[in-house]
Amino acid sequence: MSRTLLLLLLLLLLCGPAAGRPPPAATPRLKLAFPELRARHGLRLFALERSCCYEALLLDEERGRLFAGAQNHLLSLALDDISQRDRKIYWPAPVEWREECNWAGKDITAECMNFVKILHPYNRTHLYACGTGAFHPVCAFVEAGQHAEEPIFKLDPRRTEDGKGKSPYDPRHAAASVLVGEELYSGVATDLMGRDFTIFRSLGRRPSIRTEQHDSRWLNEPKFVAVFWVPESEDPDDDKIYFFFRETAVERQQGLGKTSFARIGQICRNDVGGQRSLVNKWTTFLKARLVCAVPGPDGADTHFDELRDVFLLQTRDKRNPLVYAVFSTSSSVFQGSAVCVYTMADIRRAFLGPFAHKEGPNYQWVSYQGRVPYPRPGMCPSKTFGTFGSTKDFPDEVIQFARHHPLMYNPVLPHGQRPLFLQAAVPYTFTRIAVDRVTAADGHYDVLFIGTDVGTVLKVVSVPKESWHRMEPLLLEELQVFQDASPITSLQLSSKRQQLYAGSATALAQLPLHRCGAYGKACAECCLARDPYCAWDGTACTRYVPNTKRRFRRQDVRNGDPNVLCSEDPRRGSVPQKQLYGVEGSTAFLECVPKSLQARVLWTYQRTPDDPQREVPTDERVVRTERGVLLRSVQRADAGLYLCHATEHGFTQPLLRLSLEVIGARQAAGKAPAGDPQLAAGPPGRKVWYRDFLQLVERPPLGAADRGCQRLWSRGRPPPPPRVPAGAPGRGQGAEPRKARRRRTHEGPRAERGPRSASPW
């Protein structure tokens, strides 16, 4: 394994476009920091005092509520604004349980609490919730009312149930479950030590049923990630429940150490266990490997095996949702995360393929070539495939075969045979995913919201490249939704309300799915973003609403060509201008930062408007930086017209026209710069600026280079925004003076840009 990885890494290094460096990570088009999202883009937060761990989220569109489970609490929040009108239930573990937990050697304040892990809709009036109950799993029915405005939210603490096999004991373990028809299907550890793992059905009227115990072929130290119910035909008897998990691979060759594989497991909803053997155990359980890998030469694929999260995207056909899964690598050599997509057709094909077989302890796993008994294990007893009324009617040989062959030989491969999106060589990993199918002017697009372990959300759209068979991911936004960089542990999305909800150990966050205005004020910027939520409406970049007739609506997610879309833009060709002064022998900084982080900046220079434009050459004296061009020791010959252009997606647009005037050092000390059109009618505060200017010329401060000259020479620039104190609550974030804000937004392409921390101020 590690040898193939090394080989691949080597190949990447040798053959990659940037030889000698790891493969470049995708850059988001827009990067928005926490304070900016908070102040301008509707980021809302909720946190309880003396609680944590917002792991279980339940989105309820009908009631208009977001239900959440946290440490010792259940929450009901308004979907429109989670920071308003909250309702809470305090649900701690009883004192006796906490003491027992403490005697068992657990930490009384960190572990011996009730961490709510499971929250499902149960019936029209109630939810079903489970928590760890201080290593004593517990469940309860929660009354939530029937309508949006019914202010009911309560739990009867005397009517709680045993949560064994439903919620994990250990707060560090995740729980995966689904509630279907008043029955709970869960994948969980059923003992205090966290060794006996099971896929378990409970609640409802039928007897509980589980996986075979202590058989590593069935489950081998699994970590459950998600469970879904997917119908297979019109007949509910064919309904299946799919379990997603990762586990230690049994089929891995010995001597190579423990390897984690991602799995998908299936069971029939109408499985009631066997008659003589596998009594109250699943008779239809099968599992297959879920592969997410980058194909390499000679089979040296890079595998992403650590399954982290799964999102089921419903399509018009209920039987064929799309499965979006997030993975990371388990290797210490190569670190990265990936998103792979699977179709139900490919999943079903793996379960209809050959079974994996191992003759004895000293044999290899092979594809089973013998006769498979009828009905084929994994098939549900239904009218569709035979005459069996129940799994109890299955012949003994079917039960025996099923018991010894839970693993399929063929893995499930991702759509397109490779990840849809991957990030390597970045200081974070993906943790959660939610997907929205968006209708745009030129078709449907799946927009991915990916949570990371550093409190950010990546927004990615997958667009066809050349044809609809080859998709290309575009990283639109990187959004810092949690200030403290805590890992995102839950993610929910409401298409109806166009909002995203995220949970972490410290808080819950709510954010709109789009911020079209943030892409810029020009048609070309809107169009180049290729965000299916956004379109140019003739005057601004705004939310694209399908089926509304408006004359000026420009959107082309697939091609994003502003030459075609923005030819009528009245502002096309108007470029912001700036006048700059440099003192001979001193430094000058020509700043120009495109709004899009994916744009490449090109600088051209002409001495007079009649001269041809040529590219600004760089050397030891003229240095290109991330934010512009630094002229060290300005010379008279540097005076002239500088034009900053941004090139992106094959399209070049001018961003800024800078006119640099160079004054001799002596001359500067003696008089004010001439030719400033703004000088006479300048805003107040100008005198201060002028005095600074002279002081600097007479006595250049130490290390004045970037800081000083940028502050003093680049005249068109507004004062730096006041720093917002970290952690300042709510409205205080908008504390920046209104005047400064307005001035900045008038300043052209570099207004409202990205994280402040990147600024040299």
Ligand X SMILES: *[C@@H]1O[C@H](CO)[C@@H](O)[C@H](O)[C@H]1NC(C)=O
Does 121 bind ligand X (CB under 6 A)? Our answer is no
Nearer to ligand X, 179 or 634 (CB): 179
Part of the chain binding ligand X (CB under 6 A), chosen from 103-111, 124-132, 386-394, 463-471: 124-132
Smallest distance from ligand X to CB 157, Å = 15
> What track of x and - describes contact with ligand X for positions 419 through 458 (by CB under 6 A)?
----------------------------------------
Nearer to ligand X, 141 or 374 (CB): 141
Question: Helix 686-698 to helix 705-713 angle, to the nearest 10 degrees?
Answer: 140
Does 141 bind ligand X (CB under 6 A)? Our answer is yes
* Kind and range of the H or E run holding 711: helix 705-713
Half-sphere exposure at residue 686, Cβ-oriented, CA atoms within 13 angstroms: 12
CA quadruple 343, 348, 354, 359: dihedral, nearest 10? 100
Smallest distance from ligand X to CB 141, Å = 4
Take residue 341 and report the two structure tokens written for it.
């997509």
- Name the residue whose CB lies closest to ligand X: 123
Nearer to ligand X, 128 or 242 (CB): 128
Calculate the alpha carbon distances from 474 to 27, 173, 358, 434, 534 in Å: 9, 33, 44, 16, 14
Nearer to ligand X, 123 or 695 (CB): 123
Nearer to ligand X, 123 or 574 (CB): 123
Cβ atoms < 10 Å from Cβ of 66:
25
Nearer to ligand X, 143 or 752 (CB): 143
Q: Max CA-CA distance within the chain? A: 105
Task: List the interface residues with ligand X, window 506-535 (CB under 6 A).
Answer: none
Whether 269 contacts 299, CB under 8 Å: no
Whether 43 contacts 105, CB under 8 Å: no
* # residues contacting ligand X (CB under 6 A): 6
Establish whether the linkage from the previous residue to 375 is cis, with ω within 30° of 0: yes
- CA 548, 493, 27, 481 dihedral sign is positive
Rounded-to-integer distance, Cα 751 and Cα 716, Å: 12
Rounded-to-integer distance, Cα 171 and Cα 129, Å: 15
Nearer to ligand X, 146 or 678 (CB): 146
Part of the chain binding ligand X (CB under 6 A), chosen from 54-62, 123-131, 258-266, 649-657: 123-131
When binding is defined by CB under 6 A, the residue of 3, 50, 124, 469 that contacts ligand X is 124
Does 126 bind ligand X (CB under 6 A)? Our answer is yes
When binding is defined by CB under 6 A, the residue of 84, 125, 364, 759 that contacts ligand X is 125
Whether 531 contacts 521, CB under 8 Å: no
Part of the chain binding ligand X (CB under 6 A), chosen from 63-71, 122-130, 210-218, 445-453: 122-130
Nearer to ligand X, 144 or 475 (CB): 144
Does 205 bind ligand X (CB under 6 A)? Our answer is no
Nearer to ligand X, 123 or 563 (CB): 123
Smallest distance from ligand X to CB 73, Å = 21
Nearest to 572 by CA among 610, 606, 525, 519: 525
* DSSP 8-class letter at 167: S
Rounded-to-integer distance, Cα 554 and Cα 535, Å: 5
Task: Please give the angle made by the CA atoms of 668, 672 and 675, to the nearest 5 degrees.
Answer: 110
Nearer to ligand X, 128 or 428 (CB): 128
When binding is defined by CB under 6 A, the residue of 2, 27, 84, 123 that contacts ligand X is 123
Close Cβ partners of 17 (under 8 Å, ≥ 6 residues apart)? 24
Part of the chain binding ligand X (CB under 6 A), chosen from 120-128, 204-212, 250-258, 394-402: 120-128
* Kind and range of the H or E run holding 309: strand 306-313
Smallest distance from ligand X to CB 202, Å = 14
Paired strand residues for 65:
60, 78
Nearer to ligand X, 124 or 551 (CB): 124
Smallest distance from ligand X to CB 155, Å = 11
Smallest distance from ligand X to CB 562, Å = 55
Take residue 662 and report the two structure tokens written for it.
């160079």
Calculate the alpha carbon distances from 492 to 454, 502, 580 in Å: 18, 6, 49
Does 150 bind ligand X (CB under 6 A)? Our answer is no
Smallest distance from ligand X to CB 208, Å = 17
Q: Which residues bind ligand X (CB under 6 A)?
A: 122-126, 141
